[in-house]
Amino acid sequence: MPICYHCGQQTSEDYYCSKCGQSYCSLHKDPIDHECNLLLESLRLQQVPLDSAYITNSQTIPTISSQEYTSHTDSVIRGTTDGTYTWYRQEKQIPEDAFSPESGISFKGILLAHKSELLHFIIGGSLIFIIGLIAFWDAQLFVLGYGWALFMLAGFYTTAFLFHEFGHRQVALHFGLQTKFRLLTFGMLLTLIGLFTGLFSLISNSPAIPSLALPGAVVVLGLDKVNRKTGLCKAAGPIVNLIYGTILLMISFLIPPIIYPLNYFFALAAYLNYMLGTFNMIPLGILDGQNIFKWNKKVYFILMASLGIFLIISGILVYTPLGTSLYFPL
């Protein structure tokens, strides 16, 4: 059966790309899905002809045993350690600065792909902060003289999101991978919908409509298979939320009850971190949990259990009379 040149999987029907001269499965038939520009850029940098640098789909794929790892300097064939999958593209195929406009690489589903990372952070963080203001809005806070709390909670909401993404980013940099925070086209659409529905609920004084806020995420180049590197990069985000939330929870106990509700708001901020981390551990779709579960189930269940336990504890402290008795001055 034909083999997809991008993912190495057998396919009942292959699609030929006239631009790079290779055949692909239905999932990677479009040039942007098999990174056609990146492939051609690699050939240009190596200054070798296509037929001498790559195997054709008619060749037999070598079987790699569980103890073997092959890496050839004159080809792009690379085997995985478990022998179940052959990865065709080497990391050296990625240009030195793939995010630069001069790289010629198109990024699917990314808004303003070649703009500065700082701009992406500012836009994404600002949208999260505004949605946080809407979500925590309560006119009674201003009546009681706690208007400052609204901005503090929105700030905690924003940092929970940004620190999560920074976790992914820093671990990817540790492994020498190219990575940047980028606005996602579909995520921005969901965020803007959530922003408008939140404003509508606020203005009309109607019940708030649940909304998703995911304006962007860290994009990492080179995570083409599920292994330790991928698992650690994905786990970094929820781990940061676990650590950040625990620090905030500890601070909530250290703050004297006499300055209530500051201690309560720190507990609420901890709850937001545990909630974000737990949500991202769901092993579905593009969420972190899917790759963590595939990489190491033990790590997955330990991290999921830790976040779940602290989510329940902080939820009890925030939303039950027990929390009131602990944080409210007697």
Residue type, 17: C
Instruction: Tell whether the model's pLDDT for residue 285 goes beyond 90.
Output: no
pLDDT grade for 233, boundaries at 50, 70 and 90: very high
**How many angstroms separate the CA atoms of 194 and 187, rounded?**
10
**How many angstroms separate the CA atoms of 237 and 293, rounded?**
14
DSSP annotation of 284 reads: S
- Rounded to the nearest 10 degrees, the angle between the axes of helix 288-295 and helix 297-319 is 140
pLDDT grade for 200, boundaries at 50, 70 and 90: confident
Contacts of residue 309, defined as CB under 8 A and 6 or more positions apart, other chains included, come to none
Q: Using one digit for the tens of pLDDT, what is the confidence trace for 51-71?
A: 433 333 333 333 333 333 333
46/300: higher pLDDT = 300
**How many angstroms separate the CA atoms of 186 and 216, rounded?**
9
Note the pLDDT of residue 95: 63
Instruction: Tell whether the model's pLDDT for residue 315 goes beyond 90.
Output: yes
Of 21-25, 97-101, 236-240, 325-329, the one with minimum mean pLDDT is: 97-101
Instruction: Tell whether the model's pLDDT for residue 89 goes beyond 50.
Output: no
Instruction: Summarize the confidence of residues 218-244 as an average pLDDT.
Output: 87
Contacts of residue 66, defined as CB under 8 A and 6 or more positions apart, other chains included, come to 81, 82, 83
Instruction: Summarize the confidence of residues 12-39 as an average pLDDT.
Output: 78
Instruction: Tell whether the model's pLDDT for residue 269 goes beyond 80.
Output: yes
- Rounded to the nearest 10 degrees, the angle between the axes of helix 228-254 and helix 262-280 is 160
Q: Which residue has the tokens 């051609």?
A: 40
Distances (CA, A) of 21 to 40, 83, 133: 10, 27, 52
Of 117-121, 142-146, 240-244, the one with minimum mean pLDDT is: 142-146
Q: Using one digit for the tens of pLDDT, what is the confidence trace for 213-227?
A: 788 888 887 776 778
Q: What is the DSSP string of 131-162?
A: HHHHHT--HHHHHTT-HHHHHHHHHHHHHHHH
- What integer best gives the mean pLDDT of the chain? 78
Q: Using one digit for the tens of pLDDT, what is the confidence trace for 155-187?
A: 999 999 999 999 999 999 998 888 889 898 888
Residue type, 244: Y
DSSP E strand boundaries for the chain: 15-17, 22-24, 78-79, 86-87, 110-111, 179-184, 216-220
Say how many C-beta atoms besides its own lie within 10 A of residue 65's C-beta. 10
Strands 78-79, 22-24: pairing kind: unpaired
